[in-house]
Structure 1
Amino acid sequence: MKIVGLITEYNPFHNGHLYHLNKSKEVTGATYSIAVMSGNFVQRGCPAYVNKWVRTRMALESGVDMVIEIPTYYSTASAELFAMGSISLLNATGIVDYVCFGSEAGEIDFINHVATILANESENYQKVLKKHLHSGDSFAVSRTKSLYQIMQLTYEMEYSFDDFKNLLSAPNNILGIEYIKWLKRLNSNIKAATIQRVSTGYHDQSVASDIASASGIREALNNNSLLEDIRHTMPDPTYRQLITAFEEGLCPITFDDYSTALHYAISLLGPDRMKDIFEISEGLENRIYKHSHSQFLISDLLKGLSTRRYTNARLNRVLLNTLLGITNERFNYFRSLGGPQYLKILGIRKESDLLFKMLKEKAKLPLITNMGRSIAKLPFPAQEMLKDEITFSDIYTLGYRNKKYVTKESEFKHPFIVV
């Protein structure tokens, strides 16, 4: 019996995810699948379109066997830290044989060789990189040139410089490289596999095809498309769950729904304390504080803050970290401990209960299925991380259209899901 791990957001679960699930099991020969999934906040530095419990049901009802939550400290971080948290969780299960990710390249050997060089960063690589940086090239160009040069010396491969540029500029390739880097750094026994992304790119906004990106689906819904009009892009469980979530006022959720809360946080902190927020540097706190006086909606604030110096992704993460109160000190404390401190199981398929039995025997981190029973038994670092997650989930509920669901300790009101 083999188990494949999937690193996901499912925001929402769509036909491309279903293809990834089925193809991953096919190429690895896996019997079961375990998805580590971003919780209520996702890697773009934004709130999820619909909460993690709804998305867990979508995944389980579509065939994923188990869903484990990626804590917010990692689900909203840069590609490297997102990969660190995700791979650490899969490794900590003690039962995952493969991790299979989608990539634009669709070729594991090329990705693996590049990841090996970047994981080790040999003295030779650093010397070549420094040479290109000193010549005036940007870091991205210098890294591409250095990898191309080192690869020609290390491996007998017939890849052009353009191949390297394409590999290192595509978002899923970048994540794939980071996943393999962390497998190597953790000395994990998990093997890496990849499948080529089909039809649409990561940021493709088209929903004409049956395979559409999650961002395209969200964009269509945010632009007043009817759910019925994009039903062809998603499995039936996603469609049913979204209908219910819309009817109950649990979605849609956008970053703008937190504009009032963010302005409160900015006013409360002021520039002096904002500089302690994770990923804020170089006086960015003053720029945010200044622009917050004239731009209320977060989307407008982001436009006002945008410069060539700061990527949109980083600005999103900075504002989200401000909203959630994630400081450099707090994040670096958890990072120094080596990543996530627990395995929180959001749900499982009833027919896959063998996975849970195996997990109880092999897991290298504390397992959480019942919040009430688990939190008091956790060791201190895990308890601290979970307490923060409880706070983050409560903040997330502020975005609900139906305000009767805005609540304290929302984590305790959602039981472990079995379908």
Structure 2
Amino acid sequence: MRAVGLIVEYNPFHNGHLYHLRQSVKITDAEAVVAVMSGNFLQRGEPAMWDKWTRTRMALAGGCDLVIELPCAYATQAAEWFAYGAVSLLEATGVVDAFCFGTESGQLAPLLRAADIAAEEPPRFRELLMGGLGSGASYPVAYSRAVQAYLGEQGAEDMSRFPFDQPNHTLGLHYLIALKRLKGTMTPYTIAREKAQYHQSDVTDSSIASATAIRKLLLESRSLQGISRYVPSSTSSILSERLDAGVPAMGWEQYEKPLFRMLLTQDRHRLAEFHEITEGLEHRILNALPELESWSFESLLGALKTRRYTRTKLQRALLSILLGHAKEDFTRDKLAGGVRYIRVLGFTDKGRELLKDMRRQASLPVLMSAARPPGSYRYLELDVRASNAYMLGVPGASLQRDLYRDYRDAPIML
């Protein structure tokens, strides 16, 4: 059974995702879809609007046949490690023949050429990258500029003008770098994003809007009426159930109290031990706390943000503190070691057939729950903790039903 892999967050699953899924199936001639999906916390350092089980239901209802979890250790990282974790998982299933991602241009050739260079990181490329970082540019910007400059020096002037710094181009480049470093066998494809770009916060089409715009509409209206045109009916139905149960769209405001408790009870030495706390950020945080206008997440971000400390960088840093992610668990060596397991979140009847093949062909153990994980599955333990932290912010969450759900619940079957 030919399968295509998708790397997703589905926060929430919308019409643009549906278009991407269907086009991916079409251009790869796939018979099944495998999605590797972020858990309860996302790549930009944010809580997902709805938990991973709710979003798994959306994915399955929207056309995915098998959903596996991208561990929080990779799901909340910058492009390099987010991509590495996701691509390594798809490759490890042993059943995914191709993977398809969206880009602003729909052009694969420039990204493949750049990946050939960046995967090896020649000394001159590294020099250009470090120079960009030294000038105060953020890592994504410095990386993109280094790629463009290096290509220009190599005589590829046409490619040096390619917009590698656009969000989906950046992610796509890192997917391809990961594939090369892993010596993967999957065939990569890309399709152009249609009608709404990655960070586009306004709506310019009658049926397709970015996830950013949909989240904005949802938070403004506090109901599903404002987004009904931009999501499949299955998504509306699933979200309606959650809203009727008293579960709102989640955001950082639900986690302000536990975050500030952590910040106010740590000294600078302890803060410096958390992942993403670099370049003296611990001092900036502690100096900002007494000067805040209000005890809100947005007020804290406003006090901390600089050219170097972007919103996304700060969100990831503060999330690491909230979740207790220590630097020692996120070294380059440990992250490069990859995920040690494949955690299944849900499947359809067709996905059940894929699972049978995976059990024979996967290069990693296939887990149907987190119950009694071997001690070597450190990132699975961190996922359980992250799920518990997430559920503590959900109104009406209960100890019996929601905490340690990873240990109890079987994958969702549709």
Note whether the superposition's TM-score is higher than 0.5.
yes
Residues 301-351 of structure 1, C-alpha deviation per residue, up to 9 Å, x if partnerless? 111111112111100000000100101112228725612121100000123
Q: Which runs of 5+ in 2 are unaligned?
A: none
Residue number in structure 1 paired with 2:239:
242
Q: 1:131 to 1:273 in 2, by over 3 A?
A: closer
Partner of 1:180: 176
Work out whether 1:144 is the aligned partner of 2:148.
Answer: yes
Go from structure 1 to structure 2 and tell me whether the alpha carbon gap of 1:292 and 1:347 turns closer, same or farther (over 3 Å shift).
same
How far did 1:21 drift?
Answer: 0.5
Moved over 4 A (4+): 123-127, 130-138
Q: Distance in 2 between matches of 1:26 and 1:134?
A: 41
CA distance in 1, matches of 2:178, 2:395: 39
Is contact 1:263-1:292 (8 Å) kept?
A: no
Distance 1:123 1:308, change over 3 A: closer
Q: Output the CA distance in 2 between the equivalents of 1:60 and 1:349.
A: 7
Q: Provide the rounded CA distance (Å) in 2 between the counterparts of 1:333 and 1:391.
A: 22
1:65-144 equivalences under 5 Å are 65-123=65-123, 125-126=125-126, 129=128, 139=142, 140-144=144-148
Q: Is the deviation greater in 227-236 or in 10-19?
A: 227-236
Distance in structure 2 (CA, Å) of the matches to 1:271 and 1:399: 26
> Is the 2:124–2:150 contact (alpha carbons within 8 Å) kept by the matching residues of 1?
no
Please state whether the residue corresponding to 2:267 is helix, strand or coil: helix
Which runs of structure 2 are paired with 1:114-263 in the superposition (5 Å)? 114-123=114-123, 125-126=125-126, 129=128, 139=142, 140-150=144-154, 152=156, 159=158, 161=160, 163-164=161-162, 166=163, 168-207=164-203, 209=205, 210-224=207-221, 226-263=223-260
1:69–1:345: 8 Å Cα contact kept in structure 2?
Answer: yes
Unaligned runs of 5+ in 1: 153-157
Match of 1:290 in 2: 287
* Residue type of the alignment partner of 2:255: Y
Name the structure 2 match of 1:281.
278
Who is 1:62 aligned against?
62
In the TM superposition, residue 185 of structure 1 has moved relative to its aligned partner by 0.2
Q: Which one of 378, 402, 414 corresponds to residue 409 of structure 2?
A: 414
Q: CA deviation at 1:370?
A: 3.1
SS of the equivalent of 1:232 reads helix
Classify 1:228/1:170 alpha carbon distance in 2 versus 1 (closer, same or farther; 3 Å): same
Counterparts of residues 351-370 of structure 1 (less than 5 Å): 351-370=350-369
- The whole-number CA distance in structure 2 between the counterparts of 1:180 and 1:50 is 29
Q: Given that residues 254 and 399 in structure 1 are in contact (C-alpha distance below 8 angstroms), is that contact kept between their aligned partners in structure 2?
A: no
Number of equivalent positions: 405
Q: Which amino acid aligns with 1:197?
A: R
Q: Which amino acid aligns with 2:122?
A: S
| Partner residue of 2:381 out of 365, 371, 387 | 387
Task: Output the TM-score relative to the length of structure 1.
Answer: 0.91
| 1:207 and 1:220 in contact (8 A); partners too | no
Structure 1 pair 265/24, CA: closer, same or farther in 2 (3 Å)? same
Cα distance in 2, alignment partners of residues 73 and 134 from structure 1: 24
- Match in the other structure for 1:272: 269
Q: Which has the higher helix share?
A: 1
Q: 1:45, 1:317 within 8 Å by CA — same for their partners in 2?
A: yes
Aligned with 2:4: secondary structure?
A: strand
Q: Secondary structure at the match of 2:101?
A: strand
